[in-house]
A and B are shown apart, each in its own frame.
Chain A
Amino acid sequence: MEKTASNINRRNFIKLSGITGAGLMIGLSLKGNNGVGQVANLSGELPAFNLTPFVIIEKSGAITIFNTSPEIGQGVFQSIPALIAEELEVSLDQVTIKQTGGEKQFGPMQFAGGSMSVRSNYTNLRKVGASAKEMLLTAASQQWNVPVTECRAEGGKILHSSGKSAGYGELVEAASKLEVPKSPKLKDPADFKLLGKNILRPDIPLKSSGKAIFGIDISVPNMVYASVAHCPVFGSKLVSFDDTAAKKVKGVTRVETCERIIGKYKYPAVAVIADNYWAALQGRKALAIKWDHQGNETFNSKTYEQRLRNLSKKEGVVAHNQGDFDATFKAAPLKLEAFYETPVVSHSPIEPMNCVASWMEGSKLEIWASTQVPGDIVDSFSKAYNVPDGNLKVNVLFNGGGFGRRLYNDYIHEAVQLTKKIGQPVKLIWTREDDTQNGPFRPMTFSAMKGALSADGKAIAFQHKVIAPSLDASEKENYDPNKPDGTMTEGISEQKYEIANMKNLYVYADSHIPYVAWRAVTSTTLAFAHECFIDEMAVKAKKDPMAFRLGMLTKESDTKNVLQKLKEVSNWDKPLPAGWGKGVAQYEFFAGLGGYVVMVSKKGTGVKIEKIYAVIDLGTVVNPDTVKAQVEGAAVMALTAAIKSGITFDKGQTVQTNYHNNQLVRFNEMPPVDVHILANGGSTIKGAGEPGLPPFAPALCNAIFAATGKRIRRLPFDINKV
């Protein structure tokens, strides 16, 4: 999910063009580096200037706003168009929202990941709306021969103080001939009608009636269905297959091979194609495939985990070094060490991986998919399958869950190869077993922690050594294990605690399992070790865990604000009933900053979660209710990762197969989450989708320690047997 926004600054050129028949098109140009607000009149020059037209106003008055961020449940179908609509002075009821599909004119930010969508678009898209509004105002004032200052925009109309009014559609032709304002004036946030408000999401009625169309719901004329068999043992080669029985299944038409491409890995696969999906599935079950396991059939989690423990003795690569950790630790009066372990987990979105792909004559390719990365598909598939520029169309549907899984295009590769082979549109659907067994997965991280305190209990030295396979190594062939690896040390050197001597390390462990980003990525496991160990230091210092943390935050910071807010909303200093315990944790990382206070009580041999207080720090918020939903959901996902089985390997393959043995937290297991948003305005905007994950498990486990005296250092654990 670290698809960074390095190209944002290129999108600083606001332009206008009159488009015959389409009315006014306003967009951000990819070209030029002339500074924010720089303008040009592009009438008639659209193709040359590579516009990114986010808004179309037609003469009829119809308004279309393009949304570049795939909707994966995070609410961008409302929050992104609202940025434009706010400044354009229209409500979302008045516009048609269209999802973009990686078209070049919409720019490089066509993905959902890294909690980037709102923060990367916040100012640029408001300027798009503001520019269009100013031009419509100018057009009206010229038409009416009145000062523009006497005109205002409201609800899709320009109104004059005399009472005259004109709809945007009536003004659009004249407006399109005007210069684009050099620096459109953005609204005062005090005047916002949409931003910062709990505006209802336009996709919710569709999703409450079965009308929302997801990737799996697409069908196109002449389409066939495919089910694909992969080797359950990772890294096996295909020797041969016998499809005699498969082809006898009624409805099965063909059997073809294809290749699953994910990161640096290429896995052979055999696809059964049929005129309906059930037949394809039956045919696939009837395949007899011979695999050469290449020695991978002995791989298992137990041995690999022991290898990680052994590797922890290595020094590793320095990720961060300040002060003199080694000398301070050696001489410290109080010191402690601990080892933390976390599991591999799956994304398991409820919509299985699927794709409809259609290869047409003349190297034309059309793809329909639930995907987080349409921009990447257009770029990489054009090259991989030699599709000429402009011949590849991607249709992005509502995603039935993303969580990072749909940042990867393995299932799309399979569908494209199959349609290319058979010359017919193919709908490929993975089964839940395919999804659970093949991954890709979030890797485990193991952490060797060291901490030292002064005689009066102040933290003076800290070390977080990560021992784990690498996301980066899973992605590329030429990985260098001797260089720092930011993908595996996320956030461990970015916490605001003022500890003078800190040396953080990473020990690389090689692996042949496809490991990838997962919602909040490795921060989800590293925060567990990091913030539980801070708690262990507080215990050693004989200090209250909240006071200990705040004692290391003498300077003003967002982290300090988050902890203080948590202290307030949880009534931290109020004594708890007997048998209860409370725990706190926070984590700052690439996506943003959040924190929890969790309260538990002893219940039989285990614990019951009594209360969950969450605080997320955003700076500026576009839709508070959507943010709350994101944090509520993140807590559920984090609880699953903490207390359910996770993914394990034996005999070279994934042990878990479906939701019965790769369980998710169910309805009756989830207590409510009380979410508080810190949004004091300002230019810094943090992400909303991911920060609710990392601090949950450590807050829970710190609470369990407070209630029971039992320190949990390995996830997952059984909450009913602590």
Chain B
Amino acid sequence: MAIYEININSKSYKVDVEPSMPLLWVIRDFVGLTGTKFGCGIAQCGACTVHLDGTPIRSCSFPVSAVGAKKITTIEGVSANVDHAIQKAWIELQVPQCGYCQSGQIMSAVALLKAKPKPTDADIDIAMQGNLCRCGTYQRIRSAIHRAAELI
């Protein structure tokens, strides 16, 4: 066990956990933020996507010991009032079905728009293919990312 001080959504948390514990379980079970989801545990589905200094990572396969002083953003840190352009577009186009993968989808989409404010379909394909959706909301996600690009 070791004590880590990690910065999540601009707040500092102290946790005493195994160094090998994936960031996902630290966020969910120790910090208590449950918006970030467990789906596969091997970085295949993207449900656990968070930002590490703005870059999307799969927190299920990222040990807490590797976080260091870098800043983590989870779905809860995207906006205070569900009003990020991506979230507005998600609501306008009614993207989620079951919704379980959507935190990860949104984290990937937010990072994409930051890097490419007017993404092409090819950009979207590349940015979003690491996020699985079993309900099949892909076509709405594509439309919503284009819509968010207009809203920004």
Residues of A within 8 A of B (CB): 71-75, 200-201, 203-214, 216-217, 219, 225, 250, 276-279, 282, 348-352, 398-403, 429, 431-433, 625-626, 629-630, 632-637, 658-660, 664-668, 670, 672-673
> Are the CB atoms of B29 and A350 closer together than 8 Å?
no
Q: List 11 A-B contacts (CB under 8 A).
A: A73-B99, A75-B97, A207-B96, A207-B102, A208-B95, A208-B102, A210-B75, A216-B34, A348-B134, A399-B98, A658-B42
Q: A208-B87, A209-B75, A636-B136 are in contact. Are A400 and B82 (CB under 8 A)?
A: no
Residue on A with the closest CB to B46? A350
Q: A209-B87, A432-B40, A670-B136 are in contact. Are A278 and B98 (CB under 8 A)?
A: no
Q: A209-B78, A398-B100 are in contact. List 9 more A-B contacts (CB 8 A).
A: A206-B99, A207-B102, A216-B37, A349-B100, A351-B98, A632-B139, A636-B135, A637-B136, A664-B132
**Is B6 on the interface with A (CB-CB < 8 A)?**
no
> Are the CB atoms of A667 and B106 closer together than 8 Å?
no
> Are the CB atoms of B131 and A667 closer together than 8 Å?
yes
Q: Which residues of A contact B21 (CB under 8 A)?
A: 278
- Chain B, interface residues (CB within 8 Å), range: 35 or more
**Is B103 on the interface with A (CB-CB < 8 A)?**
yes
Q: With both chains docked as a complex, state the minimum distance between the C-beta of A458 and any C-beta of chain B, in angstroms.
A: 38
Residue on B with the closest CB to A612? B139
Interface string of B104-135 (1 = CB under 8 A from A): 00100000000000000000111011011111
Q: Which residues of A contact B106 (CB under 8 A)?
A: 208
Q: A210-B33, A211-B35, A400-B37 are in contact. Are A200 and B91 (CB under 8 A)?
A: yes
Main secondary structure of the interface of A (DSSP, over half): loop
Q: Which residues of B contact A399 (CB under 8 A)?
A: 98
**Is B13 on the interface with A (CB-CB < 8 A)?**
no
> Are the CB atoms of A208 and B131 closer together than 8 Å?
no
Residue on B with the closest CB to A210? B35
Q: Which residues of A contact B137 (CB under 8 A)?
A: 629, 632-633
Residues of B within 8 A of A (CB): 1, 17-18, 21-22, 25, 29-30, 32-42, 44-45, 47, 74-76, 78-79, 82, 87, 90-91, 94-103, 106, 124-126, 128-129, 131-142
Residue on A with the closest CB to B143? A672
Q: Which residues of A contact B124 (CB under 8 A)?
A: 667
Q: With both chains docked as a complex, state the minimum distance between the C-beta of A343 and any C-beta of chain B, in angstroms.
A: 17
Q: With both chains docked as a complex, state the minimum distance between the C-beta of A128 and any C-beta of chain B, in angstroms.
A: 26
Provide the bound-state CA to CA distance between A72 and B103, in Å: 16
Provide the bound-state CA to CA distance between A115 and B50, in Å: 35
Q: Which residues of A contact B18 (CB under 8 A)?
A: 250, 278-279, 282
Provide the bound-state CA to CA distance between A71 and B97, in Å: 9
Provide the bound-state CA to CA distance between A433 and B45, in Å: 13
Cβ-defined partner of B39 (8 Å) among A71, A278, A350, A634:
A350
> Are the CB atoms of A74 and B42 closer together than 8 Å?
no
